[in-house]
Amino acid sequence: MEKQPILATGRLYLRPFDIADAPEVQRLCGDYAVAATTLLPYPYPDGLAEVWIASLREDVGHGDAAAFAITLAPGGSLIGGVRLRIDADHARGELGFWIGRRCWGRGYATEAVRAVIEYGFSVHGLHRVYAMHFSRNPASGRVMEKCGMLHEGRFREHVKKWGVYEDVDLWGVLREPAPRTGTYIPPPLRGMSL
């Protein structure tokens, strides 16, 4: 079983999720404002948080994820979460994150996501970290930008959310970053065989 450390940043403590976090996860993720820009259901059903935390702990144990509960003090109450889904074959991780609404706009997501990107590179030896957000959720894109990720493109109507096809933006960062040009410009296609 993989064991996760506690990551201390300037203001935050990132620790493993515990099953005891379930009621708070349900309360914070049950907020319409959080559900509306994620793939979370609304309303958030009873029992889902327990199942989610258990599966998260299993994924972490198998090395398929790193997941951190965000708190403001050691032993303090939960304010959000960051997860890195790890694909070891490709040495890449996909980020997902949320902050409880009362704590938005204080730089907490940026601080936590930066620490988890660094953790993915240094501890899991990842080569690439990427993340996606609904194009109508610029705050999430701004967090990714502030964490040194490059905007790599937009998938049109990539996700069906509550019956509506939604555009999704893709951001990524490499351990050895390419020179920053704002937007990733792919090299010209040559005769390609996979």
- Chain centre distance of CA 49: 17
Residue of 53, 84, 109, 116 interacting with ligand COA (CB under 6 A): 109
- Closest contact distance (angstroms) between CB of 133 and ligand COA is 4
How far apart are the C-alpha atoms of 141 and 158, rounded to whole Å?
Answer: 16
Alpha carbon separation from 177 to 122, 153, 171 (Å, rounded): 14, 17, 13
Our finding on whether 142 is near ligand COA (CB under 6 A) is yes
Residue of 108, 119, 121, 171 interacting with ligand COA (CB under 6 A): 108
How far apart are the C-alpha atoms of 34 and 36, rounded to whole Å?
Answer: 6
Give the chain's length. 194
Q: Of 2-10, 43-51, 108-116, 118-126, which segment contacts ligand COA by CB under 6 A? A: 108-116
The token pair at 171 is 């951001």
Our finding on whether 22 is near ligand COA (CB under 6 A) is no
Tell me the residue type at 162: W
How far apart are the C-alpha atoms of 96 and 85, rounded to whole Å?
Answer: 8
User: Contact, 84 vs 109, CB < 8 A?
Assistant: no
Q: Which is nearer to ligand COA, 36 or 91 (CB)?
A: 36
Our finding on whether 105 is near ligand COA (CB under 6 A) is yes
Residue of 14, 22, 34, 56 interacting with ligand COA (CB under 6 A): 34
Q: Of 48-56, 117-125, 132-140, 159-167, which segment contacts ligand COA by CB under 6 A? A: 132-140
Which residues make up the interface to ligand COA (CB under 6 A)? Answer: 34, 37-38, 97-99, 104-110, 133, 137-140, 142-143
